[in-house]
Amino acid sequence: MKRFLRYMYDFRGVCIWAVLSGAVFAAVFALYGIRMEAAWYPILITALFGVIMLAAGFVRYDKRRRNMERILSSDGIFPDAADILPKAESLEEEDYHELLGKMEAAFRKKKGEWDASRRDMDDYYATWVHQIKAPIAVMKVMLQQEDTPENRELSAELFRVEQYAEMALCYVRLGEGASDLVIQEYALDTIIRKAVRKYAGQFIRRRIRLVYEGTAVRVITDEKWLSFIIEQLLSNAVKYTSEGSVTIAVKDGKKLSVTDTGIGISPEDMPRIFEKGYTGYNGRLDKKSTGIGLYLCRKAAEKLGHVLTAESEPGKGSRFTIDLESYPFRAE
């Protein structure tokens, strides 16, 4: 009914013209003294034909409207606007079709240029990360030749440089869809221990105790991306814990948690900690926080189908939990 009323409103000019025409005929016949039966008869016949044509027009109108609603409700980019738009029924509609075609061509050209630019940028970042690894490896070897406080400090800073380079590469790869995923069943203990060994030097340097008792759980995931998430959580735990411990535990089935006794996160920052670029109060104090680490962790978890959550109490520490029971994949 609502669609029919809208149809009548769209063609209100024609309806008003038909009513006025009938009124004019009736008025002229009355002025000339012609019997009104002679006027009502053609008016009724004309009205009958008008109703039939109005109903036929509404059927076409309704079909076009339903087709447009189907097009508007669908996602993605269509192959060609000419293939989906209703056939033009007037010169004005033909002009609109031509205008939409030109706009579509311009959009596709700009999108092609943007895609090419994005691919070039991704290739550049990937190449840069791989190239920077060579001088980093050389510097690490040189610093390991002599065990001095200065060399240990430089090694720690070099570790951060390597970490940021890896983060840049992960940032690029997160936009590549699922093509970078290798979903298999893995031993969770192996993945955790690999991340722990990578950050062992940071724990020793900061004199922070790491608690991990091992697990026999096996999970379906991507080893590289899950390792990245765990490493980022360990990195944050080390960064914001001046004393105490960091605990890794697997409980309630396949829920992996990383808990620290650090400075915690303020309640007003909690809703936004996974936003890109958001550093919060702690990040502004640290002056070195980029606000990218947790954002990448959340994006990577979503890519794997896992659920990453956080809870914290200022001054008492934070706990980040990865629900590894949640995934939409099957092992390859």
Q: State yes or no: pLDDT of 30 exceeds 70.
A: yes
Rounded distance between C-alpha atoms, residue 321 and residue 225, angstroms: 15
Residue 317's pLDDT is 92
Give the model's confidence band at 117: pLDDT under 50 very low, under 70 low, under 90 confident, else very high: confident
pLDDT digits (tens, 9 = 90+) for 70-97: 776 766 555 565 566 667 777 877 888 7
Residue 232's pLDDT is 92
Whether pTM > 0.75 for this model: the answer is no
Residue 77's pLDDT is 53
What percent of the chain shows pLDDT beyond 70? 87
Mean predicted confidence (pLDDT) in 128-152: 85
Mean predicted confidence (pLDDT) in 202-211: 90
- Could you tell me whether strands 245-251 and 209-212 are parallel, antiparallel, or unpaired per DSSP bridges? parallel
208-211, Cβ contacts within 8 angstroms, sequence gap of 24 or more: 208/238, 208/241, 208/243, 208/244, 208/245, 208/246, 209/244, 209/245, 209/246, 210/245, 210/246, 210/247, 210/248, 211/245, 211/246, 211/247, 211/248
Residue 154 Rama label (left phi>0; alpha psi -120 to 50; beta): alpha
Residue 325's pLDDT is 82
Beta-bridged to residue 251, according to DSSP, are 255
pLDDT digits (tens, 9 = 90+) for 37-71: 666 777 777 778 878 887 888 888 787 777 777 77
Rounded distance between C-alpha atoms, residue 259 and residue 312, angstroms: 9
**What are the φ and ψ backbone dihedral angles of 209, each rounded to 5 degrees?**
-80, 135
Q: State yes or no: pLDDT of 211 exceeds 90.
A: yes
Residue 290's pLDDT is 64
Residue that the structure tokens 């869809």 belong to: 177
Cβ proximity of 223 and 184 under 8 Å? yes
**What are the φ and ψ backbone dihedral angles of 187, each rounded to 5 degrees?**
-80, 115
Residue 320's pLDDT is 96
Nearest to residue 225, comparing CAs of 164, 166, 160, 165?
166
CA-based R_g, the chain, Å: 34
Give the model's confidence band at 275: pLDDT under 50 very low, under 70 low, under 90 confident, else very high: confident
Give the model's confidence band at 22: pLDDT under 50 very low, under 70 low, under 90 confident, else very high: confident
Instruction: Give the CA distances from residue 26 to residues 12, 43, 45, 50, 56, in Å, rounded to whole numbers and listed in that order.
Output: 21, 9, 14, 17, 27
Residue 276 vs residue 73, higher pLDDT: 276
Per the structure block, which two tokens stand in for 51? 């109703």
**What are the φ and ψ backbone dihedral angles of 29, each rounded to 5 degrees?**
-60, -40
Q: State yes or no: pLDDT of 288 exceeds 60.
A: no
Which of 8-12, 59-63, 166-170, 284-288 bottoms out in mean pLDDT, i.e. has the lowest?
Answer: 284-288
